[in-house]
Structure 1
């Protein structure tokens, strides 16, 4: 469906975001790591409680909700699927960043989830994590690495991805039930996106 020019109503109880898809078709020029005491750890067979906690701490402010709504069976099937790799950014022994790579489609890698906890935004930790993500992705025989972000995410997300070597190629509108109204996210999450009941 093509949306008409002008305003389109979003029903009460719903949220709407503009989603930007970005891709790269060759490894970008390597960017230096910023100074910082970060490391990356691969998590094989992640525990559901661990994954949900990190997913919430990284993404709740940006209304990441899809995985939060999944049953244990649904979530386990995805995060333990062959071709899915999950990593955490470790800071002072704590897991403070999430990187999820999806290699299930031959020749491609999707950065499914990428982010750091609020206290690390602006410290260079995300640059470190992106450098590791691109190293890991391009260590496979790929023709494409891609990611998507939306207007609920950090306002600098699109520019960060572009500085990392991604180029935008598609835009969509995503409409969903507001996760703050069904208890999936706290009522006070994502203050930049007003609740409309």
Structure 2
């Protein structure tokens, strides 16, 4: 439990405020923007290399790293789990978005990963992918769909989730090594969070 007031973050580390959001009933279907050549394709058993390539193209700018540093065997177990659904947003034959639905907790679904590759944001693809996420999640017997975002993500993420019908229910602070200092992601990633050199 954090106390009121300021807490120092050591140099070389970064702190982020995480917001958890949920919906506890299926919303009315949302209208889709013109899809053009967009489709959402189930991606059963993707190879680790292909998965990480899409994960990096979608999340590198926002400092998504957990699946990049995860042991191959651990990641493979997740990708092979029948209670994890991986979907790719396709623009023709090119993957431009990632959706991962986690049904491992009975009666719930977590949107584990949701994002678009650079150049795809702001054109209606996010709404198209979110509508698919909501439809796929609530097609199962769940009573709760939830997601989390943090201030390292796009500033558009939190209001987008709220417009989609999610309501904030919890905030957390996470302190981790700043991976921009290791070269795992570019130093330009999440520019809204300054780098404090050790």
Using structure 1 for the length normalisation, give the TM-score: 0.96
My pick for the range that moved more, 5-14 or 128-137, is 5-14
Q: CA deviation at 1:186?
A: 2.3
> Structure 1 CA distance, aligned partners of 2:140 and 2:35?
27
Where 1:158 maps in the other structure, the secondary structure is helix
Where 1:57 maps in the other structure, the secondary structure is helix
User: 1:145-184 maps to which residues of 2 (within 5 A)?
Assistant: 145-184=145-184
> Structure 1 CA distance, aligned partners of 2:81 and 2:42?
15
Match of 2:13 in 1: 14
Q: CA deviation at 1:36?
A: 2.7
Which structure 1 segments of 5+ residues have no match?
A: none
Which structure 2 segments of 5+ residues have no match?
A: none
> Structure 1 CA distance, aligned partners of 2:79 and 2:16?
25
1:130-187 superposed Cα distances (whole Å, 9 cap, x missing partner): 0000000000011100000000011011111011111000000011111112232123
Match of 1:4 in 2: 3
Asked if structure 1 preserves the Cα contact closer than 8 Å seen for 2:97 and 2:117, the reply is yes
User: 1:47-126 maps to which residues of 2 (within 5 A)?
Assistant: 47-126=47-126
> Structure 2 CA distance, aligned partners of 1:102 and 1:54?
18
1:31-86 superposed Cα distances (whole Å, 9 cap, x missing partner): 10011321011111111111111111111111111111112112111121120000
Where 2:195 maps in the other structure, the secondary structure is coil
Where 1:109 maps in the other structure, the secondary structure is strand
Asked if structure 1 preserves the Cα contact closer than 8 Å seen for 2:61 and 2:186, the reply is no
Where 1:141 maps in the other structure, the secondary structure is coil
Match of 1:31 in 2: 30
> Structure 1 CA distance, aligned partners of 2:178 and 2:122?
28
Q: CA deviation at 1:101?
A: 0.3
> Structure 2 CA distance, aligned partners of 1:165 and 1:80?
30
Where 1:118 maps in the other structure, the secondary structure is coil
Using structure 2 for the length normalisation, give the TM-score: 0.96
